[in-house]
Every structure is written in C-alpha cells, then in structure tokens.
A and B are shown apart, each in its own frame.
Chain A
Amino acid sequence: MIEVENLTKHYGTHLAVDHVSFSAQRGEIVGLLGPNGAGKTTTMRMLTGFMPPSDGTARVAGFDVLSDSLAVRQSVGYLPEHVPVYPDMTVHGYISFWARLRGVKNVRQQVDAALEQVQLTDRRKMLVRHLSKGLTQRLGLAQALVHDPPVIILDEPTIGIDPQQVIEVRDTIRQLGENHTVLFSTHILSEAEQVCDRVVIIQQGRMVAQGAPATLRQQLQSGAHLYIEVRGANEAKIREILNPLRDIQSIEPQGNGFSLRVKPGKDLRAAVAERVMAAGVALLELRPVAMTLEDIFLDIIKRN
C-alpha cells in the first residue's frame, strides 16, 4: 500500500528527510516515531501529495506521488497535526464538503457513516467553532475517512487532547486498521507500542530502526536489567558485594533500590540473590525489568 524508497527532502540547504525507506502492507498500522523536528510531518506531506520529494520515490496504493499525484491524493485520507477547520460551517456541511471535493458518489450516506464512526452523529448540526478540542480531532478523523480511502495518514492524532479522548482516538485508529492501511506519527512511544503493528523510528531525517515493537525491543535491548532492593546496605556496600559478578555491567541507584545492567542472555538472578544473602544483607525484592520501547528509543537517540 505504501512503498517508500530513499525518500529525501531538502528545504534549501537543510536536509529534512534523508533517504528514508519503509513500506506498509494492506491493513497494517505503522507508527512513524521520532522526536519533534525529526522529519515526520515532512515525510507524511510527501506521501499525501502535498509536496514533491527532492529525491527518491514513494508509491501510495500503487501510484507514484510525483507522476500520479491526483490518484495518490484520491487514495489517501489525511489529518494534519493541527486539525484544519472552517469554523463557520456545520459539522455535517464540513464533512460533506470534503466528501464532494473527493468525488464521493453517495455523499449523504458516506457522510453519515463517517460521522457515525467517530460518534459525531448527534452533533451534525453544530457549528465547527463550537466543538471542543477532542471533538474537533474526531471531526478531523471523519474528514480523513469520509471517502473511504485505502490509506489513512494521521499526523500526531492524539496531541493536545485529554486522556479519555486519547484512548478513544487510539481505539478508532485500531478499528481503522482493520480495513485501511494506517500511517500515523507520534512522539509518544507507549502509544506506538499499543497501537502499531510496526514502528519506523526516524531521527534528524534519518531512519534509525524499524520493525514490530516486540521485535525491536528484542533486537535493540543492549542488555537486560535487574531491579534489586535490599535492607542494610548502602550503594558502596552493594557494589562491593556484587563486584565479583563479571556479567554485571553497571549498578545505579533507582528509587529505593538499584538497577543492575546485565549482559544480554545472562540470567543472574540466582547468583545475585546468593551473594546478597551470603553477605548477610536482607533481600527485599529482586526482579527482571523489561526494557520499554521508551528506553530503547532514548538509547538509540543517545547512540546516534
């Protein structure tokens, strides 16, 4: 559905997107992940036919974004970061406008279906200016899916709305993923982890990693972590006790206890417990810590 190869965008001398390649299959939800200014929006704008790439190719629904721009635009539903609205139109009028502009055949039916999907049916007569931020966000979603496009591109769809609405929007994205290919950007990692089948991490315009969240975690985990909490020993003492265990790479205080970084593939729980107790220190807690995508992400950013 989406095939991106060496996509590049220059703004003057500034390189906003630098040879990014990824793809998304039909019915896949792909998260574009990266800090602010990483090039997420620029990448999306090229995929929606808004701006042409400087170099590289991108195909959406089989159409090239440069040579078949109109066909690409017909196949894409797009929600920019700041939901663009016409404040003086009614909810129904606004959605109908976009439906007509995109050549929808049964406008009334499609508009009703889209409003139903984002639960705005009871507000169809309201003026857009009177909608709250969360409802506006849903309006934007309705606009993006009213022409039933095979590909839906959402730029930071959960930014600036309250937690309840964030959950609703995520649910909607998951539902959309059943029938559409969804590409959405976020800088919230837990969100990508929850919603996406696959994430593409970009930083300073370059792609630094991609894969399923679980796979990424496995691949990139540069070491397992153990959390240990004891009574009757300070940091120096703990270091002294655990020092002989060569597989421990670092010991850092964390909360009431310590975080131990262990070489990948080693299970040191038994050894750690044994040494701690042998030293006559009370062991209160000892557990492995799974690295979240968040940690991995920070790790990658640091390494780059």
Chain B
Amino acid sequence: MRGVLTVFRREVGQYFASPVAYLIAFALLLITGLLFNTDLTYSMRVKPAEAALIPGFLSFALVFFAPLLTMRLLAEEKREGTLELLLTAPVPDSAIVFGKFLGAWFYYSLLLALTFIYQFILLAIAQPDIGHAISAYLGIWLYGGAALAVGMLFSGLTENQIVAAFLGMTALMFLWLGDLAGQIVANLDLAYVLRQLSLQGHFSTSFAVGLLRAEDAAYFVGIIAVMLFITIRIVESHRWR
C-alpha cells in the first residue's frame, strides 16, 4: 500500500510538472468548448441539449489521447534506468504498476472534471437531463480507465515513448472499431460477439443513453484488471532478462 501511494503521488506530481499533460488538457478543453458551443447554438431552437455530448466525444478521442497520457509511464522509467532502481525497492512489482495506473486515472478524472463546467452552464440556463449526464460521465470514466490500462501495457513493452503511444493507439483503434465491425458484419452472431468485445459496444448504447448496466461496468473493470495483470507480468519479466 505504501508503494502504491508513493508511486501514485509521484506520478500525479509528474503530470503537473510535464508540458505534455498541460497541452492535452488545453486541447481537450478547447475542442470540447467548441463542441459545446455548437451544440448550444442548435439547442436554442431545434433540439434539447445533448446530455452525453462530452462523454460521447471522448469515447472516440480517448483512442488517441489515452496513449498520450500513458506513453511515459513505463517507457521513460526503462530509458532512464529508474526501473532497475524501482525493482530494487522493497515494494512488490504490482504496487508500482497500480500506483502508476491510478496516477494516470486520477489525472484523467481531473481532466474529466474540468468539463463539468458545461453542465453547470446548462444548469444555469435550462433544465438539462442530469441523470442522463451522470450516467454518461460514469461510463466514460470507466471507459477512460480501460483505455489508460491498455495504453500503459504498451508503455511497458518498449523504451520508446513514441512507439508506446503508436502501439497503444493502434490497439485502442481496434477495440473501438469493433463497434463498426459489429454493424457491418452479415453474420449476426459474429457481429454480436465483436460488438460485445469492443469499448463502444459497452458505452454508446448503454451509458451514453442513460442506461446503467452491471455488465458494461464489469466489462470495463475486466479490461482494466486483465491489462494491469499483463503489465505486472511485463514489469516482472525485466528481472529475468
């Protein structure tokens, strides 16, 4: 626990000390701000405000920006040689991986919290569907955790952050595309399986429309658990090389 907490604290501090994280926050707020503005303009007359607007956008954007948040986590430790020192610290390997993952997830949660501002604006000028929004946010929070866990796994595979980010994006792209594949495959059973495996399949038709289902939450938690397990094994493998 001490190890998890110490690594977690360092990682969170590290996000605030690095320009990449600020750039990502800047880009995220800029794009979501523009989206919100556009949606608001339409909502004046044509339709009610979209409750899952930001989470819906993130479900696609995470494919690219989750790996950017996690590419550093293990690749940098390997390149700087600090991984060797971490592995000689009196903490289990899993503590290092958990601490890092929680640090990334925490930072992502902060970014997500920044976009609450749009909900507050809506609350001030209209009567938005709060339950729907909460469901979408909860979903995208879990979705983000799963995406970050995938990104971190690839950070553990290489010393090169660019390669880590690229591999992470590719993997997430496949997980995301499963949704589209599910729509175009003619065999219904296969389509169903593909969709159940994809990230979108557990978000776009449930959390995003205000539907909370245990199976979707279990899917994201499951992805996180499997990815962290593999990452711990990857870190451990450095002792055998």
Chain A interface (Cβ within 8 Å of chain B)?
11, 45, 48-52, 70-71, 73-74, 76, 78, 80, 82-89, 93, 97-98, 100-103, 143
Contact = CB atoms under 8 A, between A and B. Distances in A.
Interface string B9-30: 1100110011000000000000
A50 B82 contact: no
A103 B81 CA distance: 22
B92 A70 contact: yes
Contacts of B45: none
Q: Which 9 A-B pairs have the closest CB atoms?
A: A84-B81, A84-B82, A74-B90, A73-B90, A100-B6, A48-B88, A88-B17, A101-B6, A101-B89
Given A80-B84, A85-B80, A88-B14, 6 more contacts: A50-B88, A70-B90, A78-B88, A89-B13, A100-B2, A101-B90
A43 B49 CA distance: 65
Interface string B91-107: 11000000000000000
Given A50-B239, A70-B90, A70-B92, A101 B7 contact: yes
Interface string B67-98: 00000000000001111111111111000000
A44 to B, nearest CB: 10
A97 B10 contact: yes
Contacts of A97: 6, 10
Contacts of B145: none
Nearest to B5: A100
B88 to A, nearest CB: 4
B13 A49 contact: no
Interface in B36-87: 80-87
A97 B17 CA distance: 15
Contacts of B87: 49-50
B7 A86 contact: no
Contacts of B85: 78, 80, 84, 98, 143
A76 B88 CA distance: 8
Nearest to B17: A88
Nearest to B76: A86
Contact of B2 (A11, A93, A103): A103
Contacts of B156: none
A98 B89 contact: yes
A102 to B, nearest CB: 6
B185 to A, nearest CB: 44
Given A50-B84, A86-B80, A103 B90 contact: yes
Interface residues of B, number: 26
Contacts of A76: 88
A45 B87 CA distance: 10
Contact of A84 (B2, B7, B84): B84
B168 interface: no
Contact of A86 (B6, B82, B92): B82
12 contacts: A49-B87, A70-B91, A73-B89, A78-B85, A84-B82, A86-B14, A86-B80, A89-B13, A98-B89, A100-B2, A101-B89, A143-B85
Nearest to A82: B81
Nearest to B82: A84
Contacts of B6: 97, 100-101
B99 to A, nearest CB: 10
B9, B81, B83 pick with most chain A CB within 10 angstroms: B81
B14, B17, B88 pick with most chain A CB within 10 angstroms: B88
B90 A102 contact: yes
B3 interface: yes
A100 B5 CA distance: 9
Contacts of B91: 70, 101
Nearest to B86: A101
Nearest to A79: B85
Contact of B240 (A49, A51, A78, A88): A51
A70 B91 CA distance: 7
A49 B2 contact: no
A40 to B, nearest CB: 15
Contact of A101 (B3, B17, B80, B81): B3
A25 B14 CA distance: 40
Contacts of A102: 89-90
B225 to A, nearest CB: 24
A155 to B, nearest CB: 10
A103 B4 CA distance: 12
A84 B79 CA distance: 9
A217 B2 CA distance: 49
Nearest to B95: A101
A49 B89 CA distance: 9
Contacts of A98: 85, 89
A53 B240 CA distance: 10
A101 B3 CA distance: 6
B66 to A, nearest CB: 21
A86 to B, nearest CB: 6
Nearest to A147: B90
Contact of A80 (B10, B14, B81, B241): B81
A71, A87, A97 pick with most chain B CB within 10 angstroms: A97
